[in-house]
Amino acid sequence: MAQGRHVDRIPRILVTISLVICVIGSMIGVGVFGGTPIASAAGGALASDATPLAPASAAFSIWSVVYLGLTGYTVLQWFPAPTAAATARQRRLRLPVAGTMLLNAAWILVVQAGLLWVSVLVIAALLALLGRVFVILVRSRPSGPLERVLVDGVLGVYLGWVCVATAANVASALVASGFEGASIGPDWWAVAVLVVVGGIGVALAVQGGGRIAVSVAIAWGLAWIAVARWDGAPPSVPAAVAAAVAAAAVLGAAGWAGLGRDAGGRRSAGA
């Protein structure tokens, strides 16, 4: 028993250290500790008016939810899980979640250095690791409401937002590198990418059985892209409409998948 507690303690410490590094990175990303705000870093390539796929600046307030949630998750994982299944679930999650927090901080530092294409590689790795976290969540069940919020909810929001942020990051790197669309206008490139992001959001909603946190975060990012393109620079009615439709499709898919999951549960209970 004592050996088991010792084995669990090391990953818990790693998660806690990773959170501290992640929070320090976020402070650098908002201009504290001598850092440059992300919107101004890398020559403004990630500003809300830099590309047709950049969300309005208000969208980034979701990071406050993510950081607060990750803090709650970190505290929660120090407490004993109520069941053996919940303990196993937490063990599988700790190292991947710690890795996402370290990659988050690394992304901020890379952007501070102006290395946009390196930032694309980092955020792609972050997205892949969050995908691994999502698989673990889907294949197991939360032990209660607190875990449902601080684990499934927080990590779902994290994944959903990073899906949108990855597309925006790639667009920023392309534009900053001088990419001009290869004879296809920027509006239609934006529409194509938004269709892909919407498709990914629908797939996650279906595979996750209507997990609302992931879908809401993706829809949040898409909605703020729609606002930025409709009411800001660079203006793009096609991109605004595509982003709005994609957001609605993701939420609709989550609702449909959630109803199907609930109906299946009722049938099982009645069987």
Q: Convert the pLDDT of each residue in 176-230 to its tens digit.
A: 999 887 788 899 999 999 999 999 999 999 999 988 999 999 999 999 999 999 9
Whether residue 7 is predicted with pLDDT greater than 90 in this model: the reply is: no
| Closest C-alpha among 221, 217, 219, 224 to residue 247 | 219
Average pLDDT estimate for 227-253: 96
At 269 the pLDDT is: 41
Whether residue 8 is predicted with pLDDT greater than 80 in this model: the reply is: yes
**Distance from CA of residue 173 to its chain's centroid?**
19
The answer to whether the CB of 236 falls within 8 A of the CB of 187 is yes
| Angle (nearest 5°) at CA 128 between 8 and 108 | 85
Q: Convert the pLDDT of each residue in 54-81 to its tens digit.
A: 999 999 999 999 999 999 999 999 999 9
Kindly state the tokens that stand for 93: 């999650």
The number of beta carbons lying within 10 Å of the beta carbon of residue 234 is 15
At 268 the pLDDT is: 40
- As a whole-number percent, the residues of the chain with pLDDT over 70 amount to 93
The number of beta carbons lying within 10 Å of the beta carbon of residue 77 is 22
User: Residue ranges of the domains in the chain?
Assistant: 2-262
Q: For 20-43, give one letter per residue: b (16+ CB within 10 A) or e.
A: ebbbbbbebbeeeeebeebbebbe
At 6 the pLDDT is: 60
Tally of residues, the chain = 271
Q: Please state whether the predicted TM-score (pTM) of the whole model is above 0.85.
A: yes
Q: What is the 3-state secondary structure (H, E, C) of the chain?
A: CHHHHHHHHHHHHHHHHHHHHHHHHHHHHCCHHHCCCCCCHHHHCCCCCCCCCCCCHHHHHHHHHHHHHHHHHHHHCCCCCCCHHHHHHHHHHHHHHHHHHHHHHHHHHHHHCCCHHHHHHHHHHHHHHHHHHHHHHHCCCCCCHHHHHHHHHHHHHHHHHHHHHHHHHHHHHHHHCCCCCCCCCHHHHHHHHHHHHHHHHHHHHHHCCCCHHHHHHHHHHHHHHHHHHHHCCCCCHHHHHHHHHHHHHHHHHHHHHHHHHHHHHHHHHHC
The answer to whether the CB of 232 falls within 8 A of the CB of 184 is no
